[in-house]
């Protein structure tokens, strides 16, 4: 039961048979200690090694989360909230053991309020499930990380995706949260008002807190009308600088594109192979335009002109909704496509975001560095936001590769920080970027974050060992 708790964690209580019985008193068979389940719950989709928790509880309600946290507080047991397990920086590894709170079965869409353009959902609702339920309303929820993550997990990591350039990230699209604090007390942050100057912005504090401050058990999110007209296109470019420069000009001119994604030649090859497509294997932009018909036509004309000036002329249009869905499905599966290029390898994604004027230089230098790496790499990104990934397909059993990957990641991140960018555009800190958190914010700001952590979670039971070293 007490698998692999590191020596420095002995200050935590032990999940023993008595403790399991207390959980089972209210959750019965939904408290699980089978090894396979524990291992599956301690490992995300990243290169980080897994750490199994000592128990998994599949919770059914805010009340059960509260009861679990009360017990864990009383016994000083670590708690790791779990959604779909799709995080990319080891967020759910139970490095100090403890209890994994699996929220994936709290998966009800509670209210869709079309006139107010908002919805309230349980945290286990996935982005695809929410959009399926919205299908007949004419509305949609835009935030779309590649994986079909849960909304609770997306809020916890401040996720974004391809639509962020137009619609913002989870930061802009969560109106209110229900959060269970480590004590078991339940709070609601925010209201359904679009804006507010009422008190500290607790919603934004919990969005991106990676399960280190509390457990999100309900979210109210913003919805948007599906645009009257939508056009999507794939545009190959002669070279990478041309494609990136086109993006920079589109953004600087303020053309309200819905999506503007860059993929380099190897990424296109991976997508063609994985999603059975026949796109030109050249540096490419995936574009989407949405709005009223004349506005879309105007945007398309403007972007066509900019692309042509930078060597991107051969627009391939997705003619209908089904074709558009296929196109974006291929883009969303980019990470899986990359991994399929080198079976058995792990995908170390990287995830920097820089001011747009530095993007071309940042990508060019990353590609120069990557050319020397002993493993395949590619570039894919939400370039309209200045955010890109350099997926590294690393053989985790080859120490030289791991060392080289760490060095390359380090180089890419430190360069982004020097450009006044961030070490993580959308994946978060987790286990993987704790040293960069310090490099980015400085020790005084980290001191403020730690003070907040200590104030809200004095026993440090919430997802310990993450974000802060």
Site for its own copies in 375-434 (CB under 8 A): 385-387, 416-417, 420-429, 433
Kindly tell me the number of DSSP H helices and DSSP E strands found in the chain.
16, 20
Q: Is beta strand 284-291 parallel, antiparallel or unpaired with respect to 259-263?
A: antiparallel
Query: Which CB sits closer to its own copies, 22 or 453?
Result: 453
Helix (H, G, I), strand (E, B) or coil at 150: strand
Candidate segments 10-18, 39-47, 337-345, 436-444, binder of its own copies by CB under 8 A: 436-444
Q: What is the H or E stretch that residue 275 is in?
A: helix 265-275
Does 441 help bind its own copies (rule: CB under 8 A)?
yes
Measure Cα distances from 44 to 87, 147, 156 in Å: 6, 11, 15
Does 292 help bind its own copies (rule: CB under 8 A)?
yes
Helix (H, G, I), strand (E, B) or coil at 43: coil
Do residues 109 and 129 make contact, with C-beta atoms less than 8 angstroms apart? Answer: yes
Does 325 help bind its own copies (rule: CB under 8 A)?
no
CB of 274 to its own copies, least distance (A): 26
Does 73 help bind its own copies (rule: CB under 8 A)?
no
Q: How far apart are CA 175 and CA 221, in angstroms?
A: 5
Residue 381 φ then ψ, to 5°: -175, 165
Using CB under 8 A, which of 44, 265, 401, 440 touches its own copies?
A: 440
Candidate segments 44-52, 70-78, 262-270, 444-452, binder of its own copies by CB under 8 A: 444-452
Measure Cα distances from 277 to 27, 317, 354, 360 in Å: 47, 14, 31, 27
Query: Which CB sits closer to its own copies, 239 or 298?
Result: 298
Using CB under 8 A, which of 115, 343, 344, 399 touches its own copies?
A: 115
Does 111 help bind its own copies (rule: CB under 8 A)?
no
Using CB under 8 A, which of 80, 353, 459, 461 touches its own copies?
A: 353
Does 194 help bind its own copies (rule: CB under 8 A)?
yes
CB atoms within 10 A of CB 164: 25
Place of tokens 């089972």: 24
Using CB under 8 A, which of 17, 200, 343, 399 touches its own copies?
A: 200
Query: Which CB sits closer to its own copies, 202 or 373?
Result: 202
Does 357 help bind its own copies (rule: CB under 8 A)?
yes
Q: How far apart are CA 40 and CA 150, in angstroms?
A: 16
Does 311 help bind its own copies (rule: CB under 8 A)?
no
CB of 280 to its own copies, least distance (A): 29
Query: Which CB sits closer to its own copies, 190 or 236?
Result: 190
Helix (H, G, I), strand (E, B) or coil at 16: coil
Place of tokens 């600087």: 252
Q: Is beta strand 346-348 parallel, antiparallel or unpaired with respect to 392-394?
A: antiparallel
Size of site (CB under 8 A) for its own copies: 97
Does 256 help bind its own copies (rule: CB under 8 A)?
yes
Does 302 help bind its own copies (rule: CB under 8 A)?
yes
């Amino acid at each position: 039961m007490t698998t692999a708790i590191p020596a420095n964690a002995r200050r935590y209580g032990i999940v023993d048979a008595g403790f399991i019985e207390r959980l089972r008193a209210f959750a019965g068979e939904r408290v699980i200690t089978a090894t396979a389940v524990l291992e599956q719950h301690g490992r995300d989709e990243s290169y980080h090694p897994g750490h199994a928790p000592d128990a998994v509880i599949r919770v059914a309600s805010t009340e059960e989360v509260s009861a679990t946290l009360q017990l864990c507080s009383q016994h000083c047991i670590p708690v790791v909230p779990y959604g779909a397990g799709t995080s990319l920086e080891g967020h759910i590894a139970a490095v100090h053991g403890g209890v994994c709170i699996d929220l994936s079965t709290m998966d009800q869409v509670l209210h869709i309020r079309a006139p107010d353009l908002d919805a309230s959902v349980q945290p286990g609702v996935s982005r695809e499930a929410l959009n399926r339920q919205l299908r007949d309303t004419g509305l949609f929820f835009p935030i779309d990380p590649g994986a079909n993550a849960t909304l609770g997990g997306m809020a916890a990591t401040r996720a974004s995706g391809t639509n962020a350039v137009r619609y913002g990230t989870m930061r802009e699209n969560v109106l209110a949260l229900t959060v269970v604090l480590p004590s078991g007390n339940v709070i609601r942050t925010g209201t359904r008002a679009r804006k507010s100057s009422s008190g500290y912005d607790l919603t934004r504090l919990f969005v991106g807190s990676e399960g280190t401050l509390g457990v999100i058990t309900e979210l109210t999110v913003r919805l948007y009308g599906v645009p009257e007209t939508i056009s999507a296109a794939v545009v190959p470019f002669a070279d990478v600088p041309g494609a990136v420069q086109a993006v920079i000009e589109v953004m600087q001119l303020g053309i309200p594109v819905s999506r503007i994604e860059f993929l380099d030649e190897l990424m296109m090859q991976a997508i063609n192979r994985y999603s059975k497509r026949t796109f030109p294997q050249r540096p490419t932009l995936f574009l989407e335009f949405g709005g009223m018909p004349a506005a879309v036509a105007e945007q398309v004309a403007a972007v066509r002109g900019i692309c042509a000036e930078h060597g991107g002329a051969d627009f391939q249009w997705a003619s209908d909704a089904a074709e558009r869905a296929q196109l974006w499905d291929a883009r969303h599966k980019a990470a899986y496509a990359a991994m399929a290029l080198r079976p058995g390898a792990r995908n170390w994604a990287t995830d920097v975001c820089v001011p747009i004027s530095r993007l071309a230089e940042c990508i060019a230098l990353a590609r120069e560095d990557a050319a020397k790496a002993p493993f395949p790499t590619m570039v894919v990104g939400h370039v309209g936001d200045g955010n890109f990934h350099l997926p590294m397909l690393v053989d985790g059993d080859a120490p030289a590769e791991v060392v080289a990957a760490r060095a390359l990641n380090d180089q890419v991140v430190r360069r982004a920080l020097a450009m006044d960018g961030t070490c993580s555009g959308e994946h978060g800190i987790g286990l993987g970027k704790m040293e960069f958190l310090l490099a980015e914010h400085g020790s005084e700001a980290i001191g403020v974050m730690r003070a907040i952590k200590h104030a809200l979670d004095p026993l440090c039971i919430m997802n310990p060992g993450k974000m802060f070293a």
